[in-house]
Structure 1
């Protein structure tokens, strides 16, 4: 009976062995896709998950002067005030963006990542097209083209592993979501140093013209005697198989980058980033319903008519290594005969 059971299980076993076989490095228990899809930029889309195209809108508001003088100097010279150009200002700018909501790495790879999902946001000066005609994999060019990147945890890639084990942001999925309703995720960072990256903007200055400003996140461990109400950065995410919204809130400091503008003082401000996007069905895997958040891998397997690799990718992803399967068959036949 045991030999008969082995014969019955054989087709399923061979099918499992066939998946991803053309990509010899593909591991079904991992979070990477098979590297067999022609035309897929694996810098942005290497992980199993959902990808959304949209815009990242940044807003600076609640500007206040930063005053680093000692108390005696303030009493003698008076308190700093914002110039008229910066009073009650709200400044907004945006970039094209890709939001990636993806499967986490296996527990044995990142045991300290207890988040249910990984979240990444990539922005672009060129709408992700400037270098694509010359570079199939934009990994060598992305640093020049991305003004802002968000990662809930330092992401590992095919070519290199992450150096930090713990997440930058702790994420929680609401249990009553995902089953016919969009998934809702909240999170925040409790690290001593604010993990958000800096960025630049072109905003009004006190000299009466616009100028480039450098914007850097504020950490609770910084010297904050002159700033009140600062909190750790927080994130909110809502997504399903058609759309996603993602927001970040943080406190920042900003100063002009031009040495010629000595009239404009350094300021603190509230920074908000809001992303709205639609699913990129051609580059996303199938998002299942209900919690926990799980995907049925489709990119690289040709089993989804909406995928970039449908039909043409199926033979590549599920290509059968004939010699490998014959060796399996031989071993099983020997076992049956014995």
Structure 2
């Protein structure tokens, strides 16, 4: 049995990421609303009227419809049809905004905070549509804005949206959608029904939220801006060199990919070709369970790669660990730069 580290109380950032990464999705409206809030960046107490929210909200949906026409499991949607009409130049911008105000927010505002059939403890807005025609921003969203990780939340929401819409757009069983990693382009991709490659999203953007914006190994903060020093590496937890010993091709699977700061991955005293300790192996199991909990289609990919239930996945990791350690001999674990985040 893998050892497990003590848990910590979920933060405001955890609550936001829970909404984006783990909420059940039958339409993509929750992603559009999240992206709208992040873009508008309102302050505590601000009232966002639907007519002010609608243009930004509709913009995100129309942009995604250009790349993936299916934005939900429902067979039809009058609101999405209005967005399509705008994209095809058969309706005006005013028509689009009016349709968004009338139809675009019917369910998403009620369901936004819901994860696993219950609302998260931290609410980011209150519904005041009946009295004032909009939503009231709470202190929690202002605190979210103050977080150093705020700048990365839009990338994470976009990556999650791309993964979800890809499963819908392919129109094949979710269990048959396999997400693969391109190590050279550092992209996640899949194949459509005709085996044509379809790039989905950046590997970093897709994984960052599940690591809560921290290096997998030392919990140093990482950020998705390529121009900053804290831009992370995409690292193989079990070193890529194991391929030559017959432990590939599963080693390139999403289950074995983590985001690491440059010091841990390739700095003085970094991991390089060593095997992370069993304590870090338990952390990998936890991270993979986060991915499996997200569904659409990372769940099926991870289960296909590492096992269909908890016992199988623990056995898979422990067996792989024993083989890797026997080959590479050396173990590695860096000092943590802050308390464990997951």
Q: Name whichever structure is richer in strand by fraction.
A: 1
TM-score, L = length of structure 2 = 0.21
TM-score, L = length of structure 1 = 0.21
Higher-Rg structure is 1
Q: Name whichever structure is richer in helix by fraction.
A: 2
